[in-house]
Structure 1
Amino acid sequence: MLASTVPALLPMAVAEEEISDIADLQLKLTQLNSIMSMLCSMHQTTALHRNPGATLETFLYNLMSLTGSECGFVGEIKTDGSHFPFIVTHAISHNNWVRDMKKKFGKENDNGIRFLQMENLARQVIKTELPILNNNPLPDDLLLEFSHHIPRLRSFIGIPVLYDQQLIGIIGLGNKPGGYSTCTFDILKPLVQTYATLLFANNQEKERNRIEKANRRMTADLEALVSTLDDIVFELNEHKIFTKVWCNDEKFLFKPKDQVLNRPICDVMGELATIFDSLADTVLGTGEPLEYEYKDIRQDVNHWYCMKMSLIKSEHPEAPKRLLILVKNISQRKMDELALQQAKSELERNNHLLNISQQMGAIGGWEFNTATSELFWTKQIYDLREVPYDHDISLATCSKYYHADDRAVFEEHRKNLFEHHKPYCLELRHQSAKGTPTWVKTVGMPIFTNGKISHFRGIIMDITNQKITELELLKAKEAAEKAAHSRSEFLSVMSHEIRTPLNAIIGIAGILEDNHQTDNSEVVHSLQFSAKHLLGLINDILDFSKIEAGKIELEHIPINLPQLIHGIASNYQPLAKGKGIKLFTALDHELPQNIVGDPVRLAQILNNLINNAIKFTSKGSVCVEVHQEERHGNRTHICFTVRDTGIGIPAELHDRVFETFSQADAATTRQHGGTGLGLAITRKLVELQRGHITLDSAPGKGSSFAFTLGFDIPVTHSIEHRCQQWAPGFLQDMNLLIVEDNVINIRILEMQLKKSGAKVTTATNGKQALERLKEQTFDGIILDLHMPEMNGYEAIPHIKMIQPNAFIIVLTADIMPEVAEKLAMLQVTDLLPKPYAASDLYKALAHHYV
């Protein structure tokens, strides 16, 4: 029916035009099928083989077939150091042509183009980033020598490969019979875009692989470094001689450093010398690091070590080679391995008992079989994680039960366990499948069978209660430390505020004593006694604080014992005489004259006991008895007893009088005064010297305090203690700078130094002192610590910088232990606590007088 509506005769031109359109349509369909086939082939070869080279060679030859080209190339755009772009071919037709051209004009490893005219046309594409079509290119002069088997370029089409509007590659095709047309660009557009995507993806994959490789290398280096910290590190030169040794704990070093340095391996390593020497030769020869495990070469030391020997890299190839040996103590690991073997055998015999223990201890076990990749949990882990016993478990899902902030730590340690066989023991936050939060201790370790890893095993323990307790204890500890710090600050301020005026009082009293008149000697003596009594109370409080903080350190120096006892007794004779009682001493004739101990602490104990005895005795006497209980060679035990005929102490209060801030009753405090710290400090000082103090007393019958201490007897038998006499002018022409903000203390220092012959300049703070130091040179500086504007701590570094040869003597009312520690860090050791005796100041200055 349709044919009857068409005219019988069609014009010839119309028929020919329709035939041509049908032919073009068939050609386009054929080309489209070819393009689809090429795209499928590229994706399949890339996915299956991941081989870009083979894929692109196939891609090129398909392009040539599709376009009817005789030659061509597929390339990538690169830049050198000067950013000049060049072509690196990934696929090129007629490799034999290129090979011959390389032999004649280029290097064998050159991956560029050798058809010069084709290359020139390609560079135009690079320059303009636009397609180029040339069906009549100029002849290539360099091809004349190869004209017998390499045809000249008769036509060329160059297509830029763009990705994200950036030129990353180029496709060039040549010698199509009859030349190329502009429609070729449209036909090849999907293939060009596919190549761009493939090229970009390939480059991204290369870059990712490079970064991953660098990261793995960096991680391995970091792990190697961390694993050697706090162990032993040796450096050897190319002659295998030890040049450096680092060791935080020298007890792990098998020989003293001086017996290792500058000695060869064969002289140091004993029975291991041959092995270490051979390992060193291998590392020096190959440059590859080596590891070796060995037992301590000392017969009496049961330690195991892991040694890693490597070559130290140098930027200069001609530099001498150096070896680095890292030694890690793996004794604990060896012991763990033995313990693990024992635990394994016991586990096999006592599975039922272990299960009961796990239930009682909230401990679950796990095991991973390396041969079958099977993971096993005990029922306690299912219960902890609140999942049914038939729940599907795997290594991949284990980490999800840990807190998000702890998950990375767990995964890193598990990776080290599986890859490097490093056991772990971690305390982590845990969360069950139902959201129940807990704290767990998780342990993992490798299991070896016949020298090979067969299993990984571990435990997971619920430590929630323990962790809560630890956190509470930590908070309590922090609160206690804060309270201790506050107390220390309070004591420091109190000491400074009281000692500063006391220094003035005692200093003035000393000056009055040197220039006293007969009618005021009693007043001066009372002033000195009252000041010293107040100083004793302050010292009691500070000493008690030191003892509580564990910062009392005992001295071990020679003591002339009879001289010490008589000196202490003579100091209290005026006080006893003023109360109308007798004070006498009774010394054993077998008592050693010289002993070794802490004279200050011994005197402090006796001073407290004698002062108490006189205080609580209104009539009668106080007696100090000293006798030797036993002696063995150069060791003696001496008993000290202080008896009085005072008011006495009831038996029920004997223990209480040794407590802090405690006396027999409130009336005692009102009538006799005191802080109640004396006997508490006395007992602590006695116990600090491994002694024990006892009390024998009853009301109205007096009291007897006794304690026994052990002492060494020195080899020398004569110790003289003479009072130093300071002649006028003994510091003649010494130039001193006094830095003190208290006007009275400055005046006292000036008066104390007046007879010494020293020249005195004053400053009231650190800033003013620095100005004085810039104006003139001083032999020494007498420095207070607490001053306005710039204190002593701040001034000391500047003093040392301006006048490094000047000595520094610190006078301070702050005698807390931290003061000496801070000054030691500033390299200042001369410290006189306020109040000080003038003779102590003279002694310190005379030490620096030349």
Structure 2
Amino acid sequence: MDRLTSLGALLSATAHERRRQVPVRILLALLVAWALYSAGQGAWIGAWLAAVAAIQGFEIVAMFRFRRADARPGAADVVLALTSTMAMAALFAGTSVAIWAIDGRGLEGFAMLIIAGGLLTNVASGIEARSIFYVGAAPYLVALVAMPLMAMAGSTSGDPVLTSLGSILFIGAIVNVYGRVHAARVAELGALTEAEMRVEQAQGAMADRAAMAAIISHELRTPVSAILAGAQVIRDDAAPAQRQETAELIVDASALMTRMLNDLLDHSKMEAGAMSLESRDFDLSRMIGDTERFWRAQVAEKGLVLKATVLEPGQWLRGDPYRLRQILNNLMSNAIKFTAQGEVSVEVAVTPVGAGERAVTITVRDEGAGIAPEAMDRLFTPFAQGSSEVARTYGGTGLGLKVSRDLARLMGGDLTVDSAPGQGAAFTLSVRLAAGAPVTEAEATATTALDLRPSLRILAVDDHEINRRTLALVLQPLGVDLSTASDGMLALDLLARQAFDVVLMDVNMPGIDGNETTRRLRASGGPNADIPVIGFSAGTEAAQIAACRAAGMTDWLAKPLEPHRLYDALHRATAPETERAAA
């Protein structure tokens, strides 16, 4: 039954082709009538033409449903269509054998032309399916086998040996030609299908890009508006209390914008297959505790209750703690955002599995509105929200869950969800990690501007004026002697003429980039050939950082530059050699 249904989809092309062949069949029927007349068999002409008309009419009716674009033919329709095809072939094949057997009229060649024509028309009409071809070709092939047998039985039409060899060669040639034509057609259809699929993918990608641009544009306007408004207030010389509040607003808006851009960058890396994970030892119990402390204030501000599993200290694992923390923070952010009242909990389980492996399960559970079944399919789709109401109420790019699940799967685990409307949601991260070894972590203290040596001679190299002005603003509290350069060539010229203590080098610049500029500085043998070079870039891939190190940079910072991180890097760069070695 399934085979017949699949043939039904292919019979549409066959139906149109056989409809186009009707005039040829009518002409051939008239030629056969003339051959019967010339052979003295005129009494059969009427019956012959009536049979052709009847079977042709039967075929037109049987194929009618397959010629309609909106038709849905069933198995019975397929059987009827194939029967009409075989009946037409049997009529012409049987007549050709009868004509071939007529003595003394020299009609053997005409009979063979009828068979050849019938086989070729079936090659055309059955090109997409072997079954359709062989149904229509079978009567003609039987006729080709019957002719040598009739010659061997004593028929005067044709030499038995030549007829047998000719039939064998002709059957082989037809089958071979059909095989080649059919294979070419299948390849063509495959190429067309693939081309259509690629067009659909391209159209889908364009729609995704349009959606991405619209969503990102909309979501970025919120923090940008806050930053612009805050900057305007500060520029208008607001009162000290208002200035402090405005500065906090700008910092919060900048952090929101940074999270959006990081999600977008991570999604792009995942799509390109360029995301990489680091592997180092970390204490899971400490990470869970840090996460609980980080979110407790926001939970309390919203009037919610936060509960978290308390693990025994020293749950050492080996993996990527930064990406695990990113997944956990995304889940916590969503749980708090979608919970109006009630509880948010973090449940953690660590189970030994095999030698040196641990199965880690982290479930973030909320008591929010839950997720509707129809929204589940869109839950992990980038730039999509559970519903338009959710998008209007809560905003967001819809990238957080997609990035989190992709990261979980990159680690060899998965991120799943269990939810029902009105019953909250539980997102579970499951991953296997190797057991880790305890490490001693030195307590980090943030460096302030006052901790740095005054009058540092710093060269800041960046092709963007805004970035140079930002660096000047951040470095102003240090009282440094700051020089700037807008490209690598200008930087090398300054470095050849005057001494500096530190170089701040943008990695991505037109002309010669930061890496090449650093390589040329190191090879110059000039007065600044060995000074510290701190690179900074928006690219955070391990390979990009390694390329900076290989070029001769001594340190690296990610954009956007945070003042305390810049101060820390300058402190490391200017600390005494013994202190740097200890660090």
Distance 2:194 2:541 in 1: 28
Decide which of 549, 561, 573 is 1:848's aligned counterpart. 573
Distance 1:815 1:663 in 2: 28
Amino acid at match of 1:762: T
SS of aligned partner of 1:656? coil
Aligned to 2:358: 636
Amino acid at match of 2:295: Y
Aligned to 2:443: 722
Provide closer, same or farther for how the CA distance between residues 819 and 595 of structure 1 changes in structure 2, counting only shifts above 3 A. closer
Aligned to 2:291: 568
The answer on 1:740 being equivalent to 2:462 is yes
User: Which one has more relative contact order, counting CA pairs under 8 Å at least 6 apart?
Assistant: 2
Displacement after TM superposition at 1:554 (Å): 1.0
Decide which of 663, 672, 680 is 2:394's aligned counterpart. 672
Q: Deviations over 1:45-85 (max 9, x none)?
A: xxxxxxxxxxxxxxxxxxxxxxxxxxxxxxxxxxxxxxxxx
Q: In 2, are the aligned partners of 1:729 and 1:755 still within 8 Å (CA)?
A: no
- Aligned pair count? 389
Amino acid at match of 2:269: K
Amino acid at match of 1:811: F
Aligned to 1:527: 250
Distance 1:769 1:838 in 2: 23
Displacement after TM superposition at 1:801 (Å): 4.2
Amino acid at match of 1:609: L
The runs of 5 or more residues in structure 2 that have no matched partner are: 1-168, 578-583
Q: Deviations over 1:666-695 (max 9, x none)?
A: 010000001111111111111111212222
Distance 2:442 2:201 in 1: 44
Decide which of 518, 534, 538 is 1:809's aligned counterpart. 534
After TM superposition, the score normalised by the length of structure 2 is 0.55
What is the alpha-carbon root mean square deviation over aligned residues? 5.0
Q: Deviations over 1:338-362 (max 9, x none)?
A: xxxxxxxxxxxxxxxxxxxxxxxxx
Distance 2:365 2:519 in 1: 53
Distance 1:773 1:756 in 2: 21
Provide closer, same or farther for how the CA distance between residues 719 and 789 of structure 1 changes in structure 2, counting only shifts above 3 A. closer
Q: Deviations over 1:631-653 (max 9, x none)?
A: 55532222111111212112343
Provide closer, same or farther for how the CA distance between residues 611 and 760 of structure 1 changes in structure 2, counting only shifts above 3 A. same
Distance 1:649 1:479 in 2: 30
The answer on 1:544 being equivalent to 2:267 is yes
Higher strand share: 1
The answer on 1:776 being equivalent to 2:501 is no
Q: In 2, are the aligned partners of 1:582 and 1:622 still within 8 Å (CA)?
A: yes
Decide which of 619, 623, 638 is 2:341's aligned counterpart. 619
Aligned to 2:421: 699
Provide closer, same or farther for how the CA distance between residues 630 and 816 of structure 1 changes in structure 2, counting only shifts above 3 A. closer
Decide which of 282, 285, 301 is 1:578's aligned counterpart. 301
Distance 1:703 1:721 in 2: 38
Q: In 2, are the aligned partners of 1:695 and 1:704 still within 8 Å (CA)?
A: yes
Provide closer, same or farther for how the CA distance between residues 740 and 719 of structure 1 changes in structure 2, counting only shifts above 3 A. same
Distance 2:397 2:534 in 1: 33
Q: In 2, are the aligned partners of 1:739 and 1:766 still within 8 Å (CA)?
A: yes
Amino acid at match of 1:585: A
Provide closer, same or farther for how the CA distance between residues 619 and 578 of structure 1 changes in structure 2, counting only shifts above 3 A. same
SS of aligned partner of 2:309? strand
Q: Deviations over 1:581-639 (max 9, x none)?
A: 233422234x7432211011101101110111111111122222222234555322221
Q: In 2, are the aligned partners of 1:560 and 1:719 still within 8 Å (CA)?
A: no
Distance 1:466 1:527 in 2: 60
Q: In 2, are the aligned partners of 1:729 and 1:757 still within 8 Å (CA)?
A: no
Aligned to 1:766: 488
Distance 1:543 1:812 in 2: 15
The answer on 1:603 being equivalent to 2:325 is yes
Amino acid at match of 1:576: V
Distance 1:813 1:553 in 2: 16
Aligned to 1:324: none
Distance 1:799 1:472 in 2: 56
**Map of 1:799-838 to 2, 5 A cutoff?**
799-802=521-524, 803=526, 804-813=529-538, 823=548, 826=551, 828=553, 830-838=555-563
Aligned to 2:282: 559
Provide closer, same or farther for how the CA distance between residues 825 and 713 of structure 1 changes in structure 2, counting only shifts above 3 A. closer
Amino acid at match of 2:279: H
Q: In 2, are the aligned partners of 1:648 and 1:703 still within 8 Å (CA)?
A: yes
Amino acid at match of 1:608: N
Distance 1:832 1:722 in 2: 20
The answer on 1:688 being equivalent to 2:410 is yes
Amino acid at match of 2:251: Q
Distance 1:758 1:840 in 2: 17
The runs of 5 or more residues in structure 1 that have no matched partner are: 1-381, 390-431, 433-437, 440-461
Provide closer, same or farther for how the CA distance between residues 630 and 521 of structure 1 changes in structure 2, counting only shifts above 3 A. farther
Displacement after TM superposition at 1:557 (Å): 0.9
After TM superposition, the score normalised by the length of structure 1 is 0.39
Higher Rg: 1
Q: Deviations over 1:717-748 (max 9, x none)?
A: 35436232426344566532101344453344
**Map of 1:449-468 to 2, 5 A cutoff?**
none
Provide closer, same or farther for how the CA distance between residues 478 and 758 of structure 1 changes in structure 2, counting only shifts above 3 A. farther
Q: In 2, are the aligned partners of 1:778 and 1:806 still within 8 Å (CA)?
A: yes
